[in-house]
Structure 1
Amino acid sequence: MQDPKNNSAVCDAAASDQESIPVVTLNDQRLIAQLAKAEVLLAETSEALLRARADAENTRRRSQDDLTKAKKFAIESFAEAMVPVKDSLEMALMLDWPSFEALREGVEITLKQLNSAFERHGLLEITPVRGEKIDPEKHQAVALIPTNDQESNTVVSVLQKGYMLADRLLRPAIVTAAQASPH
């Protein structure tokens, strides 16, 4: 016969074995399924992030290459327009001009080519006229000329034309300005 104390020990041992075996409930199965879905989503998101970073880096690199090329070839069109002007000037130096008038005509034709190239590329002259108000954005007055017949701070004479490229000042027009004499 069995000792009742022994029987109790066997039951206790069986009970402790059951406690160590994890019991999975329905709620636990749902959590495990949600965790699996979250892990899949995390993997997909991580992959998408890596692709987005690679795309951004490729875009940055392409933009940098485009910028480098744009800087390198920015004046290509203008240079192409200048070549015929240079050709005309070189031809003029190689020819024996029969007269001053022929030389003048050649220079005028070359100047027309140059003006046409400037115009095509947005290089505009700043040519102030006598009496025009001085514009500090476009003119540089290098001398004041006392005068009774002109308003102060107006152009008396143009020493050198100025130039603008689109809306940017390349060189101001160099002028002398009127200074009204005290009466």
Structure 2
Amino acid sequence: MENKQENPSSQHVTPPAERSPETSAAGATGSATQEDVSIEASLAEAQAKIAELQEGFLRAKAETDNARRRAQEDITKAHKFAIESFAEHLLPVIDSLEAAVAHSSDDLEKVREGVELTLRQLIGALEKGRVVALNPVGEKFDPHRHQAISMVPAEQEPNTVVSVLQKGYVIADRVLRPALVTVAQPK
């Protein structure tokens, strides 16, 4: 195995000083032009991407604004026409009352019967609108649903409803009007 060392003088390298100015300038210009083209291409690509992202942002913003506007219109309509369904349930009650007023009968039993039917119609319309009467006789007194008028001595447990003076009403578990009640006093 021979150990060969190359003689550095055997390789011919042209020192920078010996290069001709045209060769140096041409090489520098060639690489500079390639770099400029590459930079310009990257810049154009980046600007196109920015324009695309801006357009996407504007579209998304417009869609969000449209969705917000539609939601606000829906809320406005819901507030404006919320009672529409309930009013539709009450119209037959109005028709019955108008028929009763137009009817001229001296028979009090028929008038009473008509009033009872109309009352049932009204209660049905209220229940369809989720308005339910509270009749809490015998229930534990609840200050959120009942309003105590007085406490009376009774055989029931203390703080239970003895009688209802005026019915209360709830709409979808929210008290519309508390029931006026008398409550059993403690013994």
Indicate the TM-score class for this superposition, using the shorter chain for normalisation: 0.7 to 0.9
CA RMSD of aligned residues (A): 2.3
TM-score norm. by structure 2 comes to 0.77
Q: Decide whether aligned partners of structure 1 residues 52 and 116 sit closer, same or farther in structure 2, where only a CA change above 3 A counts.
A: same
Query: How far apart, CA to CA, are the structure 1 residues paired with 2:55 and 2:162?
Result: 72
Find 2:176's aligned residue among 170, 173, 176.
Answer: 170
Counterpart of 1:141?
148
User: Structure 2: which 5+ runs fail to align?
Assistant: 1-21
Matching of residue 98 in structure 1 with residue 116 in structure 2: no
- Among the aligned pairs, what percent are the same residue? 52
Residue identity in the other structure for 2:43: L
SS in 2 for 1:180: coil
8 A Cα contact 2:160 2:183, kept in partner: yes
SS in 1 for 2:148: strand
SS in 1 for 2:32: coil
Matching of residue 121 in structure 1 with residue 129 in structure 2: yes
TM-score norm. by structure 1 comes to 0.79
Question: For structure 1, which segment, 87-96 or 158-167, has the greater mean C-alpha deviation from structure 2 after superposition?
Answer: 87-96
Find 1:84's aligned residue among 75, 78, 92.
Answer: 92
Q: Flag the structure with larger Rg.
A: 2
Matches for 1:21-36 after TM superposition, within 5 Å: 24=32, 26-36=34-44
User: Structure 1: which 5+ runs fail to align?
Assistant: 1-13
Deviation at 1:23, TM superposition (A): 6.5
Residue identity in the other structure for 1:94: A
Query: How far apart, CA to CA, are the structure 2 residues paired with 1:49 and 1:78?
Result: 44
Deviation at 1:166, TM superposition (A): 1.4
| Superimposed CA distance per residue, residues 135-175 of structure 1 (whole angstroms, 9 cap, x where no aligned partner) | 22321212222x15122211011011111111222111111
Q: Decide whether aligned partners of structure 1 residues 148 and 123 sit closer, same or farther in structure 2, where only a CA change above 3 A counts.
A: closer
Counterpart of 2:71?
63
Question: For structure 1, which segment, 91-100 or 32-41, has the greater mean C-alpha deviation from structure 2 after superposition?
Answer: 91-100
Deviation at 1:105, TM superposition (A): 0.3
Query: How far apart, CA to CA, are the structure 1 residues paired with 2:130 and 2:93?
Result: 17
Deviation at 1:32, TM superposition (A): 2.6
SS in 2 for 1:137: coil
SS in 2 for 1:24: helix
8 A Cα contact 2:146 2:179, kept in partner: yes
Query: How far apart, CA to CA, are the structure 2 residues paired with 1:178 and 1:61?
Result: 55
8 A Cα contact 2:149 2:182, kept in partner: yes
Q: How many residues are aligned here?
A: 162
